[in-house]
Amino acid sequence: HECDTLYKKWLYVLNNIEIMERLPEELNNQIFRKLKSIVEVERMTPDQRLEYELSLSVERDLSAALDTSFDDGMEKGIEKGKAEGKVEGKAEEQRLIAANFKKQGINIETIAQCTGLSVEEIGEL
């Protein structure tokens, strides 16, 4: 609590890092937490360090797999959405063409043959 500047906080941490069990509340911000975690890793025995590194590796692999899975699913979803949009757009275009033909007095059976729409669909237009 006597460290009123960032410089004094750094000096305090660097002078006492070896004996610190936890960071004082006044120093509990991101940069000092990062420094403390680095020191904790450096204090590990070789076996502890290997276990730590392996756990990080597993965590990164899982995260990468989830990200890849999400990205692939998203891309497939976008492609599916585009395909469905094209189909719906084409169907809407055929209905508009059929409605215009109907207004012109063209035979409904002829319109159905030209547009691929059913006679019932054309009748509802």
- Within the chain, where are the H helices? 6-16, 30-42, 46-103, 108-115, 119-124
Rounded CA separation 100/125 (Å): 10
**What pLDDT, on the 0 to 100 scale, is given for residue 35?**
78
pTM reported for the whole predicted model: 0.39
- Tell me the CB-side half-sphere exposure of residue 45, using CA atoms within 13 A: 2
Q: What backbone phi and psi angles, to 5 degrees, belong to 21? A: -85, -40
pLDDT of residue 51 exceeding 80, the answer is: yes
Spatial distance between the Cα atoms of 13 and 32, rounded to a whole number of angstroms: 8
Confidence (pLDDT) at 84: 80
Separation of alpha carbons 31 and 124, rounded Å:
69
